[in-house]
Amino acid sequence: MSLKVIACGPLCLLQDGGRKGWQHLGVSPGGPVDKQAAAWANRLLGNMPGVPLLEIALGGVVLEVQADTWLALTGADVPATLDGEPLPGWSRFRARVGQRLKLGFARAGQRAYLATAGGFHAQSILGSIATQTREKLGGIGGNGQPLQADDLLECAAHGEGFTLGASVPWPYRPDYCETPILRVLPGPDAFSEEQRQAFFEQRWQISPQSDRMGVRLRGEALSAPRRQWSLGIVEGAIQVPPDGQPIVLLADRQTMGGYPLLGVLHPLDIGRLAQCPAHSDVRFVAASVEQAQADLRAFLRFFSG
């Protein structure tokens, strides 16, 4: 079976757990930028984490259902209807052949996640279908192209998979209208205590020049120490280039970098940052590696359960 794309928004990408094991050759992992929202979408349908789903930037999508199935929608607050009937966010719902799912433009947040029971199917490239537009990898055609009108999203028929809908309990749903306070782990480079305090004490604004590669911050410029060598880059790394305006790297990041690293965003806060719209504010606080490890273990236990 399949979902037919009738209309497509600014950037709709097939994503899965990411392209692992290739960073030593310069291939970034990709995958969803908001891993928590993506994990909830799959969990609502009984899918394992990393099962392929659709990442929808901003909204503006219309899909036609071509066989009975169950879908789940999480992430950004997009007005959603199925044949004109409103759908709740962060929920799973039955979709029957011939129905049309319409997603309007986001009222809060930046990216919505649409999952189907059993996941979407596409050709695997380097062990993943994750769409990486810069490197031209993954997606429906394996060439890194975003979805377009008339594309077919292949998936299995699961019309009888569930008897009732279900929703994520409200305490686990982020409020995308609030100014987030994000946790930062210490980095490898020796920033002065004055510059570290300057980073944590001010509100930073999200630059419009942000994308899946990284979120650029705007504020009072920092002064970074000099570094003469490059090193491997992880998701959430906070680089400080010569202009003093930090960049927080996301799923489509480069694999090596030479800018000094002030710290690394807590793995479970990366998705919240990726949901912040341009010109919104964000703040940061210092956190410990030990607490981040404990949080991440609990997250992985829950979603692999």
Domain limit, last residue, from 149, 172, 195: 172
pLDDT confidence of residue 190: 84
| In a shared domain, residues 275 and 191 | yes
| In a shared domain, residues 240 and 277 | yes
- Please state the domain count of the chain: 2
| In a shared domain, residues 159 and 200 | no
| In a shared domain, residues 127 and 93 | yes
pLDDT confidence of residue 42: 96
Which residue intervals of 83-210 are DSSP H helices?
193-201
The SS3 of residue 144 is: coil
pLDDT confidence of residue 1: 62
Q: How many CB atoms lie within 10 A of CB 86?
A: 8
Residue range(s) defining the domain that contains residue 298 = 181-304
pLDDT confidence of residue 12: 97
| In a shared domain, residues 168 and 185 | no
Cα–Cα distances in angstroms (integers) from residue 48 to residues 53, 90, 138, 151, 215, in the given order: 11, 17, 20, 25, 28
Domain limit, last residue, from 119, 147, 172: 172
Q: What is the pTM of this model?
A: 0.95
| In a shared domain, residues 115 and 70 | yes
| In a shared domain, residues 29 and 96 | yes
| In a shared domain, residues 257 and 153 | no
pLDDT confidence of residue 188: 87
pLDDT confidence of residue 305: 66
| In a shared domain, residues 163 and 201 | no
The DSSP call for residue 165 is -
The SS3 of residue 291 is: helix
| In a shared domain, residues 121 and 153 | yes
CATH number of domain containing 262: 2.40.100.10
For 291, list phi and psi in degrees, rounded to 5.
-70, -40
| In a shared domain, residues 186 and 168 | no
| In a shared domain, residues 162 and 253 | no
Q: Which residues contact 21 (CB under 8 A, 6 or more apart)?
A: 127
What is the mean pLDDT, run by run of 10 residues, along the chain of 305 residues? 89 95 92 97 94 96 94 97 96 95 96 96 94 93 94 80 89 94 92 94 97 96 86 94 96 92 96 97 97 95 86
Domain limit, last residue, from 138, 172, 206: 172
Q: Which residues contact 29 (CB under 8 A, 6 or more apart)?
A: 18, 19, 20, 22, 23, 130, 235, 251
Nearest to 180 by CA among 269, 64, 117, 279: 269
Pairing outcome for strands 181-186 and 281-286: parallel
